[in-house]
Structures are given as structure tokens and as C-alpha cells.
């Protein structure tokens, strides 16, 4: 299981893999952050779906939030 942490501040998003301890990435927005996490998980931790599941949930919540704002 790849435990990837997304640390978001007002000006940046940084990702850390708790299992690798050396991998990190930077992203401009949460969509790019989730994509980076999934790409890392697929390359380095094959068979693990934690980041992919988190991205699906984030996208679902974003769609629901957009729908309620209409």
C-alpha cells in the first residue's frame, strides 16, 4: 500500500510518498496532485490502488460540489 500525503498550502501543493521516503512531487492544483500520485503509485507500487481510489473520491466530491452550486 502506497501512502501518499498531499500537503496543500495557500501557494503550493507538495506530495510525499511515506513508503518510498524519497519520492516527492509538486503540483499547481489538486487535479494535478492526484494525477501525480496515481502515476507514482502505478510506476513504483504496482497493484496498489490507494491513490487511484482517492482520486476517484476527490473527483466525485468535486462534481457533487459543482452540481450543488448551480
- Expressed as residue numbers, the domain containing 39 is 4-69
Sign of the four-CA dihedral 52, 56, 57, 58 = positive
pLDDT in tens, 3-28: 899 999 988 999 999 998 889 999 99
Q: How far apart are the first and last CA of the chain?
A: 38
pLDDT in tens, 42-69: 999 999 999 999 999 999 999 998 888 7
Q: Which residue has cell 450543488?
A: 68
pLDDT at 1 over 90: no
Number of H helices, E strands in the chain: 2, 3
Q: How many domains does the chain have?
A: 1
Task: Write down how long the chain is.
Answer: 70
Compute the CA torsion angle 11, 16, 22, 28 (nearest 10 deg): -40
Amino acid at each position: 500500500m502506497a501512502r501518499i500525503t498531499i500537503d496543500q498550502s495557500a501557494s503550493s501543493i507538495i506530495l510525499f510518498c511515506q513508503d518510498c521516503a524519497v519520492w516527492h512531487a509538486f503540483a499547481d492544483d489538486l487535479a494535478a496532485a492526484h494525477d501525480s500520485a496515481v502515476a507514482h503509485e502505478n510506476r513504483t507500487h504496482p497493484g496498489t490502488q490507494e491513490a487511484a481510489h482517492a482520486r476517484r473520491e476527490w473527483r466525485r466530491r468535486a462534481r457533487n460540489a459543482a452540481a450543488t452550486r448551480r
